[in-house]
Structure formats: C-alpha cells, structure tokens
Amino acid sequence: MHEMGLMADALEAVAADAEKRGMSSVEKISLIVGDLSNVLPDALRFAFDAFRRTGEVPLLDPSASLTIIRERGRARCAVCHTEYEPDELIATCPKCGMPFGVLLEGETFKIQSYEGS
C-alpha cells in the first residue's frame, strides 16, 4: 500500500512548512487526488488516521481532519482533438475510437492547503 508512504511524505511536508511559519499545531489538511493517479482515497484516509493516532507526526493535532478533493480525469484525442473524461489511463476516444489521448488532468496528487495555529 504505497498510500502510507505518500501520506507520510505529505504530512512531513506540511509539518516542515508549518514549523517554518511558527505554527504549533495543524488541524486540517486538504489534498487533491486525481482519479487516474493510482492513489486510493480510502487508503489515504486510513494512512492519515494511523499517523494521526500514533502521534508520530510533529504538529499534527490528534483531532486533525483530512479533506480529499477529487480531480476527474480529462484527456484530448491526438487525432480528432475531442476532449473527454477517461476512466482509465489508456482509454479510447469516444468520438473516433483512437487510443492514447493526451491526458490533461487526473494524475494529480498534491497538498492543496492546511490550517493550524
């Protein structure tokens, strides 16, 4: 489950930034997760809860919350230039049937924001 490693990295980045800003606690974290990022939101929530409960992450409040913002996949056909929402990384264009469109959105995994005091 690579989500544990991803969450550990995200929490480490948030804690480091919060410390630089003189914060003593992080209460809310928002992540953007693309539908085509190969990251499972439920596994991320599980990892977040595990780290939150253990107290291993500096500055992470024991009652901190996680918000996951879903980024839908969006692609453009390289042949007919139709934009569409693929449900997998290798999807066919709904208009002309050609595979391997150019992925425009949907692979994101990033920290959107965090709040604390």
Q: How far is CA 99 from CA 94, 96, 102, in A?
A: 10, 9, 10
80 is in an annotated binding site: yes
Query: CA angle, 37 as apex, 103 and 115 as ends, to 5°?
Result: 115
2 is in an annotated binding site: yes
53 is in an annotated binding site: no
96 is in an annotated binding site: yes
Q: What is the DSSP string of 83-101?
A: EE--SSSS---TTT--S-P
Instruction: Tell how strand 26-34 and strand 109-116 pair up.
Output: antiparallel
81 is in an annotated binding site: no
**Binding-site sequence positions:** 2, 77, 80, 93, 96
**Binding-site sequence positions for Ni(2+):** 2
**Binding-site sequence positions for Zn(2+):** 77, 80, 93, 96
